[in-house]
Amino acid sequence: MSNTPLEDQVHDALHRRVDSIQHAPLTVTDVRHRARRIQRRRTAVAGVAVAAVLAIAIPFGLSATGSGQRSDVPPATQPPSPTPTLQLGSTVMVDPRGAEVVEETPVPLLDVDAPSLITPDGTTDLPHVYDTITPYLDGYVGVALNDQPGVPPVAIEFLGADLRVDDGGSPTGGLIVSPDGRRIGWSEYDGTRWRVFVADPAGQVEWVETTFPPSAETETVIPVGFVSDEAVAVRAMYDLGDTKTFVAGGGQPVEVQGLLQADAASPSLGVVAGITEFRPQGTCFGVVDAIARDGDPVWTTCDHRLGPFSAGGAYVVGISAEADGNGSPTITVLDAATGKEVVTFEAVLPRRTVGGFWTQMAWVGDEALVVRMFSGDDYFMMRLGLDGSVQRIGIPSAGVSGLQVAVPS
């Protein structure tokens, strides 16, 4: 053997090393999970054929928040619609016990105690509790809430079509969905710095990643809303110094002046809403241009804390400035361009009963709000139409925690 040519000896050595190995450790399921991770992380555009290969089934929730699926969201260039039929400045009393009951939800809901995701198309059991969850590729992406030691209490998680968590686990400041459902955005802490991602839930367009300077995990970057098709407004919390507002649209974040704290944004208008001023007599709020970034408020109000913009950008929610841990006794819908009051919804509560509206809510286009209301120990999911209609979503929940919107606007 020692006198054979080197190449023959190499040939023999390699064959002897492995010819007896008959390992087949991989299953098709292993490979499909890996393929999904590759597709998710590809920086190049994933083709339609690839998406088709991976499409085990169209997630049912896609009809509500998936790519290009929402029919109730008008293009940004269209005028606001519908025009409320109520007289401007009207007040609508919201009595959940006397309201019409509907059995379907216009937006995805979470049953906290199940836990499960409820959409117009059905109910899906979830592996654990999520604060927010939305379709992504052939599965979901969600903000998971954990209470185990050694695990980030709030983490971004990617679920496959089988609802198995197959990626994620990084600390997050939140997950948002654009009003037309064509993009999602979230923040992640990688151990050194915060990053903000904007992605196509269908996986066919390259991710947009914005990288923040190195910071502590506690200096959380919180997405508050989209300001354009590909950019989100974020609130950056700092251990020292003021909270800052940035636009994350790829590369480095760009600071937006004029707000002490960003709370919401609108891609139709390209604006960010939030706190503009702390005064001895109360806090004031306003809307600033995220594109011009000159810091001059478009309008301000000291009567309402500003909440989410409607899908088409026609309206913005005004919560009572006196809202506290018990919620807001009223929700006022404001004209997003001027700040003028359009309609106010006021909670009807039994005497000596604490209650109000949660500040986490979802718009149904420009037409209605879905909001959780509580009255004493009872919780109700309400649909509040800008035409003055009030409906209770009569879907039962698994436990006392009740329902909440799965994707807050």
Partner 1 sequence: MSATLVDMGSQDRRTDKDADFSAYMSARQPALYRTAYLLTGDHAGAEDLLQNAFAKLYLSWDRIRDRGALDGYVRRVMVNENNSLWRRAWKRREHSTDTMPETGTTDTYDDGMGGALWSFVQTLPPKQRAVVVLRYYEDLSEAEIAEELGISPGTVKSQASRALAALRARAPRSLNPHETGDAR
Under the rule (CB under 8 A), what is the footprint of partner 1?
Answer: 1-7, 9-19, 21-26, 28, 30-32, 34-35, 37-39, 49-50, 52-60, 62-63, 121-122, 124, 161
Provide the token pair at 93: 């009393």
Q: Which is nearer to partner 1, 181 or 286 (CB)?
A: 181
In the DSSP assignment, the letter for residue 105 is -
CA 218 to chain centre: 20
CB 382 within 8 A of CB 106: no
Burial of 307 (0-12, 13-18, 19+ CB in 10 A): buried
Of 98 and 122, CB closest to partner 1: 122
Q: Taking the complex as a whole, how short is the minimal distance between the CB of residue 158 and partner 1, in angstroms? A: 16
Burial class (CB in 10 A: 0-12, 13-18, 19+), 295: middle
Provide the minimum distance between the beta carbon of 85 and partner 1 in the complex, in angstroms, as a whole number: 34
Q: In the complex with partner 1, which residue's Cβ is closer, 17 or 279?
A: 17
Whichever of 55 and 302 has its CB closer to partner 1, that residue is 55
389, 399, 376, 360: which is closest to 107 by C-alpha? 360
Rounded to whole angstroms, the Cα distance separating 153 from 189 reads 13
Given the complex with partner 1, which of 162 and 255 has the nearer CB atom? 162
* Smallest separation (angstroms) from partner 1 to the CB of 217: 25
CB of 10 to partner 1, least distance (A): 5
Least Å distance between CB 58 and partner 1? 5
In whole angstroms, how close is the CB of 137 to partner 1 at the nearest point?
Answer: 12
The phi-psi region of residue 72 (left if phi > 0; otherwise alpha if psi is between -120 and 50; otherwise beta) is alpha
**28/240 with CB nearer partner 1:** 28
Decide whether 29 or 81 has the Cβ nearer to partner 1: 29
Q: Could you tell me the smallest distance in angstroms from the CB atom of residue 67 to partner 1?
A: 14
Q: How far apart are CA 367 and CA 92, in angstroms?
A: 15
Instruction: Provide the edge-to-edge strand list for the sheet that holds 254-256.
Output: 221-226, 232-236, 244-248, 254-256
